[in-house]
Amino acid sequence: MKKTLMIMAAEIRTSLRRKSFVIIAIVVPLLLGLIALGIGLVNRNAMETVLADVAASPAPPSALAGYVDAGNLIRTVPADLPADRLLRYDDEAAARAALDAGAIAGYYVIAPDYLQSGAVTYITQDFSVLSDSLDTSLMEQLLLINLLGGDASLASAVQQPFQVQATSLAPVVAASEESWISELFPLFMVLVLYMALIIPGGILVNALIDEKKNRVMEVLMTSVSPAQMVTGKVAALGLLGLLMTALWLGVLWSIARFGGSALSIPAGFSLPTGLLAWALVYFLGGYAIYGAQFAGIGALAPDVNQTKSVTWIVMLPIIVAYMFMAVAFDNPTGPFAVALSLFPLTSSVAMIGRMAATEVPLWQAVLAALLQFVTAYFIIRLTAQMFRAQYLLTGQPLTAKSFYRTLLGRA
């Protein structure tokens, strides 16, 4: 135990001095936080300008518009339509002159082949699809009336064929305090767990390859057992992973706190502490499973480049779980979501995703955690076998096949 703790402490010290860890754990979240805050500020200013423009605008500019009807479709203007709001012009030049003179806010150009294409273009000086609105109902009504031969009552009926009186027999559900954060929270939790699992794993692989290259590991192996080595290194990187997650969450909290109203956490939302406790449990189990496998990759790979394809294959279950959880959120109690949340290789992200989305029976939560820790125990034991001197000394290329054969003791 003492040797395991010593390896752990040494690994933590080395990692904290490593530039790559400092970049991922501190520089990148800070940089992203600053970028997010800057962007939030720019977008907020843009939104405030738009709102101020809308509030300060005088009479609606679309109150008076013209139209040019080259195909002569519009022959009837019903008496009950506010005819003074739509002025007919014989050609585009006349309409454009009226627009330039400020007599109208804009004008419609009805395509001569309207019946086939339906094309109607409203021409105006400036228009932003993001912040400006345009009321075209009058023109649409006029077009429909004339399309139907001037029959205004039929056009009115076609525009609104009925008024529906709906009666729902479904049980009345109290209106919930739904907000963007309630909808995104399960996905967010899954993402945090996913990142917390894979980033320390990548650092672990690189650290082990470095130690193999400079032969430090061979010296270490003369005084510690493979199991102590694996446990110490995996635990150290797991702790650093937690530290890194805390830093990332701190940056996100700062963005929510200081990033303006659009990014702020809605009132009434609080982090469920029970969920956070379960997240810690599943992180430990999941990290032990994947961290041990990453340690095995680091022990076998001669250089970093050869670890990529194998790392990807080892991570495949968790990537698949992450991808499919977005779909499984629609039915978090369905058999697909339950299976993903109980399978040890996917449960760390899938169970947290389900817990954030719905209420999970306690026996399922406990069973998933138990299965995870049992699997982690066996994988750590199998991985320790890889640290035997003969594997560390070989320079053979690493493939997924050779990795799994070695893991299962068939190499």
Partner 1 sequence: MSKIWLVAEYQFRKDVFKRSFVLAVFAMPLFLGFIIAMGWLGERMQQQSTTVGYVDAANVLAQAPVSDDDQIEFVRFAAVDEARAALAAGQIDGYYVLPADYPQNREVALVHNGAVSGAVMRTFDETMRRTLLAGQQEQVVERALAGPALAVLAIDRHRTVPLSVPGVGAFVPLILAAVFAFLVMTVAATLMETMAAEKQNRTIEIVVSSISPGQMMAGKILGVVGMALALAACWLALLVGFTWLGANVVQLDWLQDLAIDGRDLALLLLVALPSFLFMAALIVALGATVVDAQEAQQIGAVAFLIIFVPIYLFFAFGDNPNSPLAIAFSLFPMTSVTTLAVRSLFMQVPAGQFVAAALVALVSGVAMIWLAGKLFRANMLRYGQGLRLRQLLRGRASA
* Positions that interact with partner 1 (CB under 8 A): 19-20, 23-24, 28, 31-32, 35-36, 39, 42-43, 45-47, 49-50, 114-131, 134, 136, 139-140, 143-144, 147-148, 154, 157-158, 160-170, 206, 304-305, 323, 326-327, 330-331
Structure tokens at 82: 């506010």
Considering beta carbons, is residue 325 or 380 the nearer one to partner 1?
325
Backbone phi and psi for residue 223, each to the nearest 5 degrees, phi listed first:
-120, -10
Residue number with CB closer to partner 1 (117 or 270): 117
CA–CA separation, 208 vs 201, rounded Å?
Answer: 11
Length of the chain: 411
Question: For residues 326 and 370, which CB has a smaller minimum distance to partner 1 in the complex?
Answer: 326
- Closest approach of Cβ 196 to partner 1, in Å? 18
State the nearest-atom distance from the C-beta of 81 to partner 1, in Å. 16
Q: How far is the CB of 44 from partner 1 (least distance, A)?
A: 9
**Which residue number, 162 or 363, has a Cβ lying nearer to partner 1?**
162
State the nearest-atom distance from the C-beta of 295 to partner 1, in Å: 17
CB of 208 to partner 1, least distance (A): 13
Measured from the CB atom, is 158 or 246 closer to partner 1?
158
**Between 78 and 371, CB nearer to partner 1:** 78
Q: Give, in order, the Cα–Cα distances in Å from 40 to each of 44, 133, 179.
A: 6, 24, 19
Q: How far is the CB of 369 from partner 1 (least distance, A)?
A: 27
DSSP 79-104: TTS-GGGEEEESSHHHHHHHHHTTS-
Q: What are phi and psi of 359, to 5 degrees?
A: -90, 125
Helical H segments across 214-306, by residue range: 216-221, 226-258, 273-300
- Dihedral-angle region of residue 409 (phi above 0 means left; psi in -120 to 50 means alpha; beta otherwise): left
DSSP for residue 65: E
